[in-house]
Structure 1
Amino acid sequence: MLAALPAEHRQPMMELARGAAFPGATRIFEEGGKADRFWIIRSGTVALDVQVPGRGRAVVETIGAGDLLGWSWLCPPRQWHLGAEARDPVLAWEFDAASVRALCTERPALGLALVTLVAETIGDRLRATRTRLLDLYGPCGGGPVPCL
């Protein structure tokens, strides 16, 4: 994701970054929790999941190197819309959301570029979630009876 930012915006963002590591099978955040940071994955994979009543967690997408982990920090109420779990060891750049929002206020061109990238990520995640939920709850073989 950082590679997609114009060059003049990457350095100010990286000045806010700090390294983060998550062992495999580690819950990174839970759906509904406070979204006060986000990550750019450097290596490893993370499963994004949604709580399905009566069924537990359903993975809606798996993301990896170069991907944005977490977008809920951008808009109120700043609560995670999905949960996340490291599938294997993950290295990432971690960003404090309040610091990034302040930087975006100071540098509106950077803010617009970042919001555009985050909006693209939101769209991708919503499409992936919709597809996964259709796989889980859509009719079996095209018939009117849901798959159970």
Structure 2
Amino acid sequence: MTTTITPRLTRTLPTEYRGRLMSAAREVDIPPGTRLFEEGARADHFWIVRSGTVALDVRVPGRRPVVVETVGFGELVGWSWLFAPYLWQLGAQAVGPVRAYEFDAGAARRMCAVDPAMGEAVALWVGRVLAHRLASTRTRLLDLYAPYGSGVPG
């Protein structure tokens, strides 16, 4: 069995840039059931979870949003803030009480624009998060829809 390593900020962003980014963070407490953002809305903040769980979901016409991923301690909530047109591709909701660091996306983008090396490091961090989530989604889809599950011999 392989262990999946989540691309957390502390593991993937160099200390210098992590410190700069964290200087723009504020600590927030998010009550259970709070919607952090809606698919299609303006992506103007992002979060790093300190405790609790956030469900990422997708709209399904005529139904409630479907949860596609849950994220917890040390994980990034939101990546759409980094890519124009800065609109959320998913929705997000606090599953229970969540404590998080909240970041102003515009301020983070300005930091990255002023220091291209920081911008590259942040883009690589967010890219690693996306790659990890896509791989996780692929595995879940294989388990659900492939004729013999994920292909791992039983």
Instruction: Identify whether the pair has TM-score above 0.5, normalized to the shorter chain.
Output: yes
CA distance in 1, matches of 2:141, 2:9: 30
Q: 1:55 to 1:129 in 2, by over 3 A?
A: farther
Q: Which runs of 5+ in 1 are unaligned?
A: 144-148
Match of 1:92 in 2: 100
Hey, what does 1:28 align to over in structure 2?
Answer: 36
1:2 aligned onto 2:9: yes
Matching residue of 1:116: 124
- Residue of structure 2 equivalent to 1:13: 21
Cα distance change on mapping 1:37 and 1:120 into 2, 3 Å: same
Q: Between 92-101 and 54-63, report the one with greater CA deviation.
A: 54-63
Q: Structure 2: 5+ residue runs without aligned partners? A: 1-7, 149-154
Distance in 2 of aligned mates of 1:116 and 1:23 = 31
- What TM-score do you get using the length of structure 2 for normalisation? 0.82
The answer on whether the counterparts of 1:48 and 1:83 sit within 8 Å (CA) in structure 2 is yes
The corresponding residue for 2:133 is 125
Aligned positions, number = 140
- TM-score norm. by structure 1 comes to 0.85
Letter in 1 for 2:108: V
C-alpha spacing 1:49/1:131, structure 2 compared with 1 (3 Å): farther
For the structure 1 residues 132 and 54, does the alpha-carbon distance in structure 2 shift closer, same or farther, using more than 3 Å as the test?
farther
Shift of 1:21: 1.4
Q: Is the 8 A contact 2:9 2:125 kept in 1?
A: no
**Aligned partner of residue 112 in structure 1, secondary structure:** helix
